[in-house]
Every structure is written in C-alpha cells, then in structure tokens.
Amino acid sequence: MILMTNRLGSEKLLPVTMSLTSVPFSLSVPTQTLSGGHGAVRTGRETIQQRQITISGVIYDPDKDKTRQELDSLLPFLMEPPIEVYRRHTDDRCLIARLLSVPQQWVDADAELHLSITLLALDPYWHGPETTEGITGTQDIEIEGTAPTLPVIRTSGSVSALTVTNSTTGQTVTVTGLSSAGVIEIDCANFTCTVDGENRLDLVDDDWFVDGFELWPGVNEVITTAPIEIIYRPRWY
C-alpha cells in the first residue's frame, strides 16, 4: 500500500486498489545544432528533469457515504505540500512532491470512485531518512544511496570562522570575517548561510558558489576546523 505524509506530519495510507502507475525518469541534454554540419554538439551537462508522477486506482465501499468521506479526508491532506510519497508503506525512500490534479469519476451509484492523483516532484531524487553526523577534526562518514546529496552544515557551538573540506570530492566551503562568534549554518542545497539565524551569505568564499559541496555515495573524508553537525538525506536515482 502507498504511504504519504504531508507538511503537517499527517500520514495517509491509500487502499490496495491504488497504485503508483507512472514514475518517469528523463534527462535534458543541452545541444547546439551544427550549422552546415550533421547533428549537434553538447553545450552543457545533462540534468535530471522534474518528475510528474501519477497514482491511480479505485476507492470503493458499498456505503457511498464512506467512499465520499475517504475523498473528503484525502483532498485536504494533499493540499498541505510537500507530500512525501512512498511506493510501499514499508519503504524508507520517498519522492517529495506537490499536488497538480485529482480528476474523479463516480460510478455504481457513487459507491465506487475512480481517482488519478497527479503530483509534481521538482526534486527528481528518491530521498531516504534524514541523518545527522557529528564531526570533529578529520573523520570518514559513509553515505548510502546512488546519487550525491547536498547537506546542511551547522557548527556545534559559536565560532569565529569555519572551513569544511570533503577530501573525497575536493570541495571546500569557508566562512570568514565574522565580527563576533556565532553559530554558523550552511545550506548546500539552497546556497544559504546564516550566523545566529541572520543571513550572512557575504561571508562565504566564492568557490563554494561555483563548486558547491556534496557528499557522494560511499566513504567521504570530511575535515573541519570546528566541531560540526552534517545533516543530510541519502538520495537514489
């Protein structure tokens, strides 16, 4: 059975008559047509496209009021995105999506409801449970999944500067120039940096904006100049 959770932390377990019928996976390859030549040339790197997924099936109860009650509980639930969609209620991987449409077809004197729930996963990866790793000095951490993940880095206490390096990828993020010590938090997915909750993106080195900071599947050697927590969700293609 498909399990969903919403922004409020509520869970919805769909009946066995509902299934995840469409989960696309596609890439975009930027190209430039060759003038006077055959074919085209690649002009940038391939990117994974957003996924529009569909959950289809039937909700049925001989008591048509119960069928309608099921729909009445489902629609408000879906209106609280983001929605985490698990292929089975026993899975620990999910797509994070937003509702696009829920066309409905009532049959059998309204006791049987045919549904097609369409959701859009702007982030195309399957996500595992959130994990927090405490790191001091130089430490190896092992990342599950098959795709790189973009962590949040947070100092364990107030510091006046911070440099974190992933020796495995060669990526580094440095925060310097604080007038006073504070708790630094760097969001590598959204490219934000705060010090004691205030936006201080101006303190981050420029290389981070070009190279980013990722954790790759497998063992990553992380070096930090101050005790930190790295918060991440493993990702799968």
Per residue in 35-82, pLDDT (tens digit) is: 999 999 999 999 999 999 999 999 999 999 999 999 999 999 999 999
Show the domain range for 11: 3-124
Which residue, 224, 231, 229, 232, is CA-closest to 155? 229
| Residue 130 to residue 137: CA distance in whole angstroms | 23
Order the strands of the 228-232 sheet from edge to edge.
131-135, 228-232, 152-155, 184-187, 192-195, 198-199
* Domain boundary pick from 124, 150, 184: 124
* Domain boundary pick from 98, 124, 150: 124
* Domain boundary pick from 124, 152, 183: 124
Q: Do 137 and 226 contact (CB within 8 A), yes or no?
A: no
Can you count the helices (H) and strands (E) in the chain?
2, 24
Query: How many residues appear in the chain?
Result: 237
Predicted pLDDT of residue 109 = 85
Q: Are residues 111 and 20 in the same domain?
A: yes
State the total domains in the chain: 2
Q: Are residues 8 and 108 in the same domain?
A: yes
Q: How confident is the model at residue 228 (pLDDT cuts 50, 70, 90)?
A: very high
The CATH number linked to 226 is 2.60.120.860
